[in-house]
């Protein structure tokens, strides 16, 4: 997805960030590249997410374009106040072990996160948000794709 941006009218954006699974080698040229853990968020996810949010908060521009796909739920995570990183990781492991369906899984993730299901908007002040999404959610409910940080849970 990120490589597609390089061939588009957005190639000259002020800030381009790519967050990909730790096991994926390489990086996308011209982007700030971060790694996260999948399927269980661990240190790479938490640290990368913190740095991504910091970069977004200090970016001075009107528009934010987000490419979001399945897997983002574990890659991009900042626990809510009072929730520890280990609680997030352990809950994720339990949900995986129980075979929890993706929609229920992502709703639970939203309840533990300070950024999922639209909560990141509490930190950002862009005028316009453009989301391009690839769904892994059977119902295609946009607020559940990647536990969508940019759309409020309904």
Q: How many CB atoms lie within 10 A of CB 152?
A: 11
All structural domains of the chain, each given as residue ranges with its CATH number in brackets, are 2-147 (3.40.50.10180)
- Those residues with Cβ within 8 angstroms of residue 20's Cβ, 6 or more apart along the chain or in another chain: 33, 34, 35, 36, 75
Q: Which residue has the tokens 């390089």?
A: 6
> Quick one: pLDDT band at residue 13, thresholds 50, 70, 90?
confident
Instruction: Report the run of H or E that residue 131 belongs to, with start and end.
Output: strand 128-134
With b for 16 or more beta-carbon neighbours within 10 A and e for fewer, the 59-68 pattern comes to eeeeebebbb
In the 8-state DSSP scheme, what is residue 9? T
pLDDT band at 10 (very low <50, low <70, confident <90, very high): low
Query: pLDDT, tens digit, for every residue of 63-97?
Result: 888 989 888 999 999 999 999 999 999 999 999 99
How far apart CA 59 and CA 57 sit, in angstroms, is 6
Q: What is the pLDDT of residues 46-61, one digit of tens each?
A: 999 999 999 999 998 8
Contact, 116 vs 110, CB < 8 A? Answer: yes
Q: Decide: pTM greater than 0.85.
A: yes
């Amino acid at each position: 997805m990120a490589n597609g941006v390089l061939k588009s009218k957005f190639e000259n954006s002020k800030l381009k960030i790519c967050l990909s699974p730790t096991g994926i080698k390489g990086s996308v040229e011209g982007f700030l590249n971060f790694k996260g853990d999948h399927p269980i968020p661990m240190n790479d996810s938490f640290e990368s997410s913190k740095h991504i949010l910091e970069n977004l908060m200090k970016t001075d521009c009107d528009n934010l374009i987000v490419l979001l796909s399945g897997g983002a739920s574990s890659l991009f995570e900042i626990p809510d106040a009072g929730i520890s990183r280990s609680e997030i990781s352990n809950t994720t492991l339990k949900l995986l072990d129980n075979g929890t369906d993706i929609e229920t899984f992502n709703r639970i993730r939203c309840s533990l996160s300070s950024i999922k299901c639209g909560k990141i908007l509490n930190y950002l002040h862009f005028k316009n948000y453009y989301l391009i999404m690839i769904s892994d959610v059977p119902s295609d409910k946009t607020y559940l794709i990647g536990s969508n940080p940019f759309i409020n849970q309904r």
